[in-house]
Structure 1
Amino acid sequence: MPSAALVLVQPLRLAGPGDRRLVTGPLTADHGWTPARAPEGGTRFTSPCRTAVLTVDGDGGSPATWTMHGCPRPGAEPLWRASFSSGTPAEVVTAFTTTLAEDLHTQHRLHRDATPASVLADRGWRASDHSPQGFHDQLAPDDWALYRHRLGHQPYDDEVARLVPPTWSMLAGSPQQPSWCAEFTIGVPFHPLARATAAFSNPEPVLRRTDQLPARHLARVTLLRRPSGCPTGTPVPTEASRPHLLPPSRPAPAPRRR
């Protein structure tokens, strides 16, 4: 299989990071965010209203890590943080960043989105029987991703400073050793969070180069189109051949949580 061949792959959350320009392109071209070299390294993108900043670590040849901070007014201390580790699919990151950029133009006008928990329940994610104390987990149908909601209150600035666990987390990959994670502190705007959760659980395939697919996920993903140049006899995983895959189900609705 040629290393640069293109293939449609699902689920998105296991497809690898993809093209970082999917995140940065709309911010600069469509929403007027300004790029600059960050003092600590990487690139910083600042919104025109200067109340949101996205920092990208990693050069163009390595997977990026993304951190977004929001503040109530220019120059104020950050009120919330959203971060995406290396390996996070660009589609998940851009679902958050682009929605946030759009909402800044409308000053976060009220959106009537479904809650992240209800979006996941509608897609067959189920409440975990083994959530850590103080947390509520929802598991993907294949058990290789979870959405975690921390229960109870803690100071927002402790969350922003990473002194305590975040209020919401997305983890993909092996439950014992996730391949990537995204974290959202209390105060994160609800609409971008909901959109990121929808992308995180998106069942639709995405386009990737075959050499970009994480090796540890190859047995867990489904290739929906044979790449050009791939010999006819080369096996391509199908939905039926994926190991340890639970059949789709519609469990009883879990308590509605964000």
Structure 2
Amino acid sequence: MSLSPLDDLDDHDVVEVLPRHLAGPGIHDLVDVWPFPFDQGWTLHHSGDGPAIVISPGMQLLAGHVPSEDHVRGGEWLIAAHKDPFRPATWTATLDASTPVELVRDLYAEVLSLCEADRRGERNLLRPDDVRPQDVYLPLLTAGWQHTVKTDGVQYFRSPDGYGVLQHAYVHKNVAAPRWSAWGGPPDHPLWKATFSSAVPASLVAAFASSLASPVPLARAVWNIPADTRLHLTLPAALTDAAARQGAPAQSRASAPSSPTLPSAHARVSAPGTGPAPTVRPAPSAGRPR
């Protein structure tokens, strides 16, 4: 009988795990996830445990966290860019609340970078950028993800364990459908899903893909790690310690960054119920989604 590397641990033990797409949502506060400079014209609208919305100066960019007990994965993270805030968005990105928070944080960091470049006149928030689709694929291929191309205009990148997927509609016939999608977990009931609409700047998808494929492990309390896919997890710190005990040369972890891929993101794991308000409640993660 196969055993999970977590079987001998207490539910409140904190471990570092890989791959990222199976790590679970993590514990986080909005102030840690959103890098937006609220002292520079960004505004936060938040009421208790309900939705939280951030609006950029000029109202072209809206970011949101919408918790929902009725949503199968606990709610959503939202990003929308508008030429006119009173008309439909030019592009959107939507991530389930159960998406690993480090991936969400890295995406928002790239969104802020894009907004600041737009303010300086270096880029246009509302137009596709010059980042090529190949730049999105590269970190996945480097990490050993498999590439499959379908004749219907869709290609897939799958993680070595088969439980992480990035989908790209390279022939985009339906502008209402997402051009990019990603998910983690069993295909019939994924743990989380992210979608990016047809006009999303590819640099945002590239930042998300880079974080998704990153070899930097994520810190998680055992209880917050999905039960269905624990057999596919590795604990890099435990493997390093075991190698050291056996006298084998073990690579020092001092040189490995402890934070996610983007430098503006700061990893943080807090115990349930602690940390500054407003606090985002973790999405359901153990077992199958509700």
TM-score normalised by the chain length of structure 1: 0.73
Letter in 2 for 1:127: H
Question: What is the aligned partner in structure 1 of residue 139 from structure 2?
Answer: 119
Instruction: Give the Cα separation in 2 of the matches to 1:153 and 1:66.
Output: 24
Query: Among 15, 18, 22, which residue is 1:14 paired with?
Result: 22
* Structure 1: runs of 5 or more not aligned: 160-164, 227-258
1:89–1:218: structure 2 CA closer, same or farther, 3 Å change rule? same
Q: Read off the aligned partner of 2:161 and give its amino acid letter.
A: D
Residue 151 of structure 1: aligned partner: 170
Cα-to-partner distance string for 1:94-113 (whole Å, 9 max, x where unaligned): 11111111221111637768
CA shift digits 1:176-230 (9 cap, x unpaired): 322111000111122221101111111220111111111112111112345xxxx
**1:3-31 deviation digits (Å, cap 9, x = unpaired):** 22211111111111113426544225587
Alignment RMSD, CA only? Answer: 2.8
Map Cα deviations across residues 69-115 of structure 1 (whole Å, 9 max, x no partner): 11124444201110001310111111111111122111163776861
Q: How many residues get paired? A: 215
Query: What is the DSSP-based 3-state SS (H/G/I as helix, E as strand, rest coil) of the residue aligned with 1:115?
Result: helix
Show the 5 A alignment for 1:89-238. Answer: 89-107=100-118, 109=123, 115-128=135-148, 131=150, 133-154=152-173, 156=175, 159=176, 165-225=177-237
What is the rounded CA distance, in whole Å, between the counterparts of 1:74 and 1:4 in structure 2? 44
The 1:112/1:68 distance shift into structure 2, 3 A limit, reads closer
Give 1:68's match in structure 2, choosing from 70, 76, 79: 79
CA distance in 1, matches of 2:78, 2:142: 29
Structure 1 residue identity aligned to 2:157:
Q
Identify if the C-alpha distance between structure 1 residues 102 and 65 changes in structure 2 by more than 3 Å, giving closer, same or farther. same
CA distance in 2, matches of 1:13, 1:75: 35
- Shift in alpha-carbon separation, 1:121–1:225, aligned structure 2, 3 A: closer
Which SS does the other structure have where 1:181 is aligned? strand
In the alignment, is the contact (CA less than 8 A) between 1:69 and 1:79 conserved in 2? yes
For residue 178 of structure 1, give the secondary structure of its aligned residue in structure 2. coil
Whether contact under 8 Å (1:85, 1:181) holds in the other structure is yes
The answer for unaligned runs of 5 or more in structure 2 is: 1-8, 124-128, 239-290
Identity of aligned residues (%): 25
CA contact (8 A) 2:179 2:196 kept: yes
Amino acid at match of 1:137: Y
TM superposition shift of 1:123: 1.6
Secondary structure at the residue paired with 2:57?
A: coil
**Displacement of 1:54:** 1.4
C-alpha separation in 1, matches of 2:172 and 2:10: 51
C-alpha distance 112-154 of structure 1, shift in aligned 2 (>3 A): closer
- Cross-structure match for 1:240: none
Aligned in 2, Cα 1:37/1:29: closer, same or farther, shift over 3 Å?
Answer: closer
Instruction: Give distance in 2, aligned partners of 1:31 and 1:82.
Output: 24
- Counterpart CA distance in 2 for 1:5 and 1:146 is 29
Give SS of 2:210's match.
helix
Return the TM-score normalized by structure 2.
0.66
Q: Counterpart of 1:49?
A: 58
